[in-house]
Structure 1
Amino acid sequence: MSPQRKLLLLGTFVHSRTQQHLEFLHNAAVAVDEQGKIVSIERDVADVSEAKERLFKQLGWSEAEVDVTEAAEGQFFFPGFVDTHIHAPQYANAGIFGKSSLLDWLETYTFPLEASLSDLPKARRVYSRCVRRTLSHGTTTATYYATLDVAATNLLADLCLSLGQRAFVGRACMDDPEINPEYYRDADADETLRATRQTVDHVRGIDPGFDLVSPILTPRFAPSCTREAMAGLAQLHRETGLPIQTHISENLGEMQLVRRMFPEADSYAAVYDKYGLLTPKTVLAHAVHISDAEASLIAAKGSKISHCPCSNTCLTSGPARVRWMWDKGIDVGLGTDMSGGYSPSILEAARQAALVSRHVAMGIHVPQGDDAAAAEREKERVKLTVEEVLYLATRGGARCVGLQDKIGGFEIGMEWDAQLVSLSQVSDDGGLEEQDDNDGFVDVFGWESWDDRIAKWLYNGDDRNTKRVWVKGRLVHRRN
């Protein structure tokens, strides 16, 4: 890999200041050092040339050692997206989410595909395409499930590192003979732990400080693991401090299975707590049907939730209640859950989160009489705004994976994980020229406020709007 150069970025920068507010930095300049850290931010720059000179003098930089990127009219810099739940091997099945239940879908589509990726050339084709595709959609950080196969999991980590994507890579752990097919499971808990340690050692060997790629302990979900495997993974977490990812309360049939298999626990969340997996470094995917008591337990343990609205709809799992989770004090991020979800795009997940929240609102009963006004206010309150779903896509996700001090926003000391977004500027004659298709479906006429432009991007944008992507200061994707 060639030495990294310093960066100077000029133009409009947009990021989440809080859950409810976007901050717009117009005519700004951001300087990034060779380590990929933001070292200076200048606001309200009247003249680009003057800003460059001032920053170079202030930082002691020469123009020859700096790559300068200036956002054109209609372009803006936005933080890279964080996907807190995605199955890399399932990229090959994106859009095939079956016609029945979650468990049937796993048996029919998912387990056969995942098992087949012990063929490393096949795994390389799928994983390299998955990483490149998610980068092209602006996903700078991905929390990946891999497969049981150690060599294939290690390959995914290698590809993330070489292609420049920040990633958490987890070998899927599944050793229960009752639930897992014979052709695709660990022999026992000892095998689960031995193979997991091998993947941890591999990632430590290629990225010793876990600066870009980190292992993540991955019990697939409670029914797929024996009690011994879950307890062993919890002990490994205590030894290493590594994060944990798993699923919770995605589907009613799955929840019935958990109740039958773990009668010693009061709830699905209590299973994870009993066996040591509910920690501040745990990301729980879905949480569609968690109870009040479970939400309180998750909040008390500091565990996080990955909201996967597209998958929850595709598999008919149900609408998760993000506002309610926030009210409970739980950090929430977004996941694509590909291929339960059909799209590798977190922008798609963000708009689906906004739409699903409206279905949650429509499910609120409005009584007659004195309580009607309060119910109507609650219907409005549970709906997620443009600002809130973009927070989930960036800072919310960063909090889920413990990187809130590094990524998710534009502040001095944070790392430059970012995307350059371009919107179509409609000409005076309103014509649609051939090259306009390269900027996707977001048409800007010039009279829109910046809030309106961002809303248009959220609801109409796609990967064609993402022109450049950087991770830790390294340019990892470029669209002409």
Structure 2
Amino acid sequence: MAPKNRLFLGSFVHSKALDELEYLHNAVVCVDTSGTIVAVERECDEARAKEILFPRLGWDMDDVEVVTAQKGQFFFPGFIDTHLHAPQYPNVGIFGNSTLLDWLNTYTFPIEASLSDPARARQVYTRVIRKTLSHGTTCAAYYATIDVPSTNLLADLCLAAGQRALVGRVCMDQFSPDYYRDSSPESALAATCESIAHIRRADPSMSLVRPIITPRFAPSCSVPLMRQLGQLAAETQLPIQTHISENGAEIATVKKLFPPSATSAQDDSYAAVYDAMGLLTERTILAHAVHLTEAEAELVAARNAKVSHCPCSNTALTSGAARMRWLLDKGIVCGLGTDMSGGYSPSILAAARHAVLVSRHRAMGRPGAEGEREKLSVEEVLFLATRGGAQVVGLEGKVGGFEVGMEWDAQLVGLGMVDEEGNAEEDGGDVDVFGWQGWEDMIPKWVYNGDDRNTKKVWVKGRLVHERK
């Protein structure tokens, strides 16, 4: 069936700035057949849209699909997950008592290696795509495995399901089990190029799925491999994703493996190693950044590299509490990541609420204004989940808000409106809203109590990709 022009009616909520949400009530948004927003009008109903907007847009009113938000429902931009490991999805919630490096060997490497089995890879990847879509994630930055066919399959499944994705074949030629590593820097580079070529053939315009260069993290990549990947990134201008400064033992390992004499870096810091390899760029996504030093943060900011904040994972693995206010104050662009399976939830909404709580833990024990500044607000974490994430993955101005020229990546959110008898008028999960509560109260209730039961419909580039039955 050919795509139709669409008219969306109701309340629209999106971030205007880091600390500001905009509420558009009794509004309409017109989305053309390409999935692009072509009109946004306040105080406009269906009749007025047909009378005023349709002639201006050249639309035939008989060939327009109308989607109306009901009582207790609103449209919100799709969430952007800036860091997750697709093959680890079966291990969600099974991180045990491990810290990062033990957890990798006990849980992570075995499950990733097992996805060289095509049937298992299809089962796992299909499920993680469907699950993230059901939680309103319209774009995800995925780590795959070292296996090329498995990585290519993930990209193909994202394309078929309609989810935006950055898909990266993981590169690692050291500091990992013999059964799960690249045999040499050259073989890693060749396999990476093979996967990049496949994704480019599958989506030549890269309008939905893009390849991303993925050195797992510095300890698992030799200097020659990192240098070759840095050169590849420079030649292709593709994005890069990796990890940085997640916990103390990892940082100590980097210092041991990569002294300045081996890397020609300015010092032995984690960020300096990546910088010397050509891997710290404006297209780089750095997951975690929990323990960056002042000098490292200044270097990250100078290179305009981006940070994916993964509060659930950092807490679950006892890695630490990232200093988000500090990073934001330095002008470092940040988004949110679920980091499954270090993180236990596929929900960016859960990551947003956890980001608030982690910031409040950082505020505890800090006096007065210093403690207050540590706290992230609901408005701020929703910005990180949408517009901030869009900047992180290179989609700034394209998705993350409701403005003319942006693409319709959105979710229809439904809350549980409680009637006079105390009954919810629809399944709003744990979000009960009473008639006297305004939007400034309803949105925080959704952030703190919401889940996939509130995500009624999801669109990517104008295409309906999930509908809760």
State the TM-score bracket (shorter-chain normalisation): over 0.9
Task: Map residues 75-154 of structure 1 onto 2, 5 A cutoff.
Answer: 75-154=73-152
In structure 2, C-alpha distance between the alignment counterparts of 1:153 and 1:114, rounded to whole Å: 11
In structure 1, C-alpha distance between the alignment counterparts of 2:63 and 2:87, rounded to whole Å: 39
Task: Map residues 346-425 of structure 1 onto 2, 5 A cutoff.
Answer: 346-364=348-366, 375-425=367-417
In structure 1, C-alpha distance between the alignment counterparts of 2:163 and 2:51, rounded to whole Å: 32
- The range that moved more, 53-62 or 246-255, is 53-62
In structure 1, C-alpha distance between the alignment counterparts of 2:72 and 2:375, rounded to whole Å: 29
Q: Is residue 215 of structure 1 aligned with residue 217 of structure 2?
A: no
Amino acid at match of 1:70: T
Contact 2:192–2:213 (8 Å) recurs in 1: yes
Contact 2:245–2:291 (8 Å) recurs in 1: yes
What's 2:264 paired with? none
Q: Is residue 450 of structure 1 aligned with residue 448 of structure 2?
A: no
Task: Map residues 3-22 of structure 1 onto 2, 5 A cutoff.
Answer: 3-22=2-21
| Per-residue deviation, 1:7 | 1.1
| Per-residue deviation, 1:56 | 1.6
Q: Is residue 254 of structure 1 aligned with residue 250 of structure 2?
A: yes
In structure 2, C-alpha distance between the alignment counterparts of 1:458 and 1:446, rounded to whole Å: 19
Question: C-alpha deviations, 1:355-400, integer Å up to 9, x for none?
Answer: 0000111153xxxxxxxxxx41110111000100000000000011
Q: Secondary structure at the match of 1:299?
A: helix
In structure 2, C-alpha distance between the alignment counterparts of 1:439 and 1:424, rounded to whole Å: 4
In structure 2, C-alpha distance between the alignment counterparts of 1:53 and 1:116, rounded to whole Å: 58
Amino acid at match of 2:235: E
What's 2:263 paired with? none
Long gaps (5+) in structure 1:
365-374
What's 1:327 paired with? 329
**Percent of paired sites with the same residue:** 64
Question: C-alpha deviations, 1:175-224, integer Å up to 9, x for none?
Answer: 12xx1100000000001100000000000001011100000000000000
| Per-residue deviation, 1:54 | 2.2
Pairwise CA RMSD: 1.0
Q: Secondary structure at the match of 2:27?
A: strand
Residue 237 of structure 2: which of 220, 224, 241 is its match? 241
Question: C-alpha deviations, 1:123-179, integer Å up to 9, x for none?
Answer: 000000000000000000000000000000000000000000000000000012xx1
Q: Secondary structure at the match of 2:17?
A: coil
Amino acid at match of 2:409: D
In structure 2, C-alpha distance between the alignment counterparts of 1:105 and 1:267, rounded to whole Å: 23
Amino acid at match of 2:313: S
Tell me the TM-score normalised to structure 2 length: 0.97
Q: Secondary structure at the match of 1:12?
A: strand
What's 1:459 paired with? 448
Q: 1:417 to 1:324 in 2, by over 3 A?
A: same
What's 1:426 paired with? 418
| Per-residue deviation, 1:57 | 1.8
Contact 2:417–2:428 (8 Å) recurs in 1: no
Task: Map residues 267-346 of structure 1 onto 2, 5 A cutoff.
Answer: 267-346=269-348
In structure 2, C-alpha distance between the alignment counterparts of 1:54 and 1:463, rounded to whole Å: 36
Amino acid at match of 2:297: A
Task: Map residues 119-198 of structure 1 onto 2, 5 A cutoff.
Answer: 119-176=117-174, 179-198=175-194
Question: C-alpha deviations, 1:302-357, integer Å up to 9, x for none?
Answer: 00000000000000000001110011110000000000000000000000000000
| Per-residue deviation, 1:269 | 0.4
Equivalenced residue count is 463
Amino acid at match of 1:417: D
Question: C-alpha deviations, 1:393-426, integer Å up to 9, x for none?
Answer: 0000001111011000000000000000000110
Amino acid at match of 1:27: N
Q: Secondary structure at the match of 1:17?
A: strand
In structure 2, C-alpha distance between the alignment counterparts of 1:147 and 1:250, rounded to whole Å: 20
- The range that moved more, 193-202 or 58-67, is 58-67
What's 1:441 paired with? 430
In structure 2, C-alpha distance between the alignment counterparts of 1:195 and 1:61, rounded to whole Å: 47
| Per-residue deviation, 1:3 | 2.8
What's 1:369 paired with? none
In structure 1, C-alpha distance between the alignment counterparts of 2:41 and 2:121, rounded to whole Å: 45
Contact 2:399–2:406 (8 Å) recurs in 1: yes
Amino acid at match of 2:288: H
In structure 2, C-alpha distance between the alignment counterparts of 1:53 and 1:312, rounded to whole Å: 53
Provide runs of 4+ in structure 1 moved above 4 Å.
none
Amino acid at match of 2:391: R
